Amino acid sequence: MSTPAGIPVAPGKVIAVHVAYESRAAQRGRRPAQPSYFLKATSSLASSGDTIDRPAGTSLLAFEGEIALVIGTRARHVGPETAWSHVGSVTASNDFGLYDLKAPDKGSNLRSKSRDGYTPLGPELIPAAEVDPAALRIRTWVNGEIRQDDGTSAQQLIFPLTRIIADLSQHLTLEPGDVILTGTPAGSSVVAPGDLVEVEVTATSTRTGRALSSGRLRTEVVDGRGDFDERLGSVPAITESLQEDAWGSREEAGLPLAEGTAAAGLSEELREKLLAAPTAGLSAQLRSRGLNNIAIDGVRALVPGTKLVGTAKTLRFVPNREDLFKSHGGGYNAQKRAFDSLAPGEVVVIEARGEPGSGTLGDVLALRAKALGAAGVVTDGGVRDSAEVAGILPVFATAAHPAVLGRKHVPWESDVAVACGGATVLPGDVIVGDDDGVIVIPRDLVEEVVDAALAKEIEDGWVAEQVAAGNPIEGLFPPTGEWKSRFEAWKSSR
């Protein structure tokens, strides 16, 4: 092992956190209640500029940009309030993993993450005493394209950095030079030979106010040996589950949805029925079942003629307050996390309190939603870049507005009950929109409601033909008596 450039003391151990970021938990669909850890071999350490091997015959080498903490003074049984004083420096790291070898590790990550060169660090150290542990930023680029951008605020991390240090110190002694890899945010994915991965950690000095940086940690992926001997132990093998985890989603991995189902829990048959049913007919069926407050008022499609069907992914904004926007509005905020964790077929439903004086999304978020297979967006606020957004995916909104959300809104939380256009929307509710507006259908009623609405559409179509032929409305709309008998006979003959 060679100590990475800039690290003052050879690490005795490298400890990695499994999941610590809200964005990563949302991406994986699993949020841990407590932090958990694994060890990486010190022989996996590498420096900026070193290459990383992807063994021949493997395909699931994934990067994970992370903030690395280098212990400066011995820590044992320390509390969160003093934990940061035991950190000597902060730098960038990349917790590479070879998912082809993950299954036999059974959680230890020994084969998949402790290979030589799989923990590059550096290139520069940021003095921990000069930074706020809750105000660090991490970014990762692949071939110059930003793939991860997150921070360490209370809204972005599940477990504060100081808690991680204190928790570890309950169980073992942290010695000078030890490295803690603090987890990766959403955006981790697969890279291949020829790709260049760069990671940078930045902060603002609490002492001087100047910008501090780890510099970009550069790692190029190259072809490596793949002569695994199955007589000695496990050899590379992949499953759909491993592919999904390595790439970040089934869609990114190129995997199909489960047979017979469509996105976000709606069967393809049910989705086709909802596309055929008008919101007016669906609304009438809901009213007949005692549900009168199911319309999202005041929203219209950016493109007339748009039909929208999907399940709700909710997002709530609160009124702008400068101190709250400072803590919740920047970095990988609730708005970005919601759009980055969309499942195919979901509709982002945004509570913006009917405030049209600011945008609630723009073209970049619309593109991200489209890339993830989202069905569309419904917002009782405004839309920026409205002409571009209109050409990207179905969006229903109250108005177009050029301002960013900080003018009127603070992105607060997602996956909670929201009030959009006067209607309560729960995560998973079915959303249907057309030129008449947008309605919300409880998931447990959707099958019976859509079947009844389509049946009523057939009846209304027949009635319209009779009226067009010159017949009076009395007894015909709706059909009763003789007209009812005629309709039933017509229906039976079809």
pLDDT digits (tens, 9 = 90+) for 233-285: 888 888 888 898 899 877 788 876 544 334 456 888 999 999 999 999 999 99
Domain 14-247: which CATH class?
Answer: alpha beta
**Distance (Å, whole) CA 118 – CA 113:** 6
DSSP codes of every residue in 90-102: EEEEE--EEGGGT
**Distance (Å, whole) CA 164 – CA 157:** 11
Q: Walk along the chain (494 residues) and give the pLDDT tens digit of each residue.
A: 456 656 666 789 999 999 999 888 877 767 888 999 999 999 999 999 999 999 999 999 999 999 999 999 999 999 999 999 999 999 999 999 999 999 888 778 999 999 999 999 999 999 999 999 999 999 999 999 999 999 999 889 999 999 999 999 999 999 999 999 999 999 999 999 999 999 999 999 999 999 999 999 999 999 999 888 888 888 888 888 889 889 987 778 887 654 433 445 688 899 999 999 999 999 999 999 999 999 999 999 999 999 999 999 999 999 999 988 888 888 778 899 899 889 899 999 999 999 999 999 999 999 999 988 999 999 999 999 999 999 999 999 999 999 987 789 999 999 899 999 999 999 999 999 999 999 999 988 999 999 999 988 887 777 788 889 888 888 877 778 888 888 777 777 77
Backbone angles phi and psi of 246, in degrees to 5: -65, -45
Find out whether 342 and 186 touch, Cβ atoms under 8 Å.
no
Domain 265-446: which CATH class?
Answer: alpha beta
Burial string for 347-363 (b: 16+ CB within 10 Å, else e) reads bbbbbbeebbebbbbbb
CATH topology match: 14-247 vs 265-446 = no
Residue 322 amino acid letter? E
pLDDT in tens, 301-326: 999 999 999 999 999 999 999 988 88
Q: Of 413, 386, 414, 382, whose CA–CA distance to 397 is shortest?
A: 382
Return the domain boundaries, the chain: 14-247, 265-446
End-to-end CA distance of the chain: 79
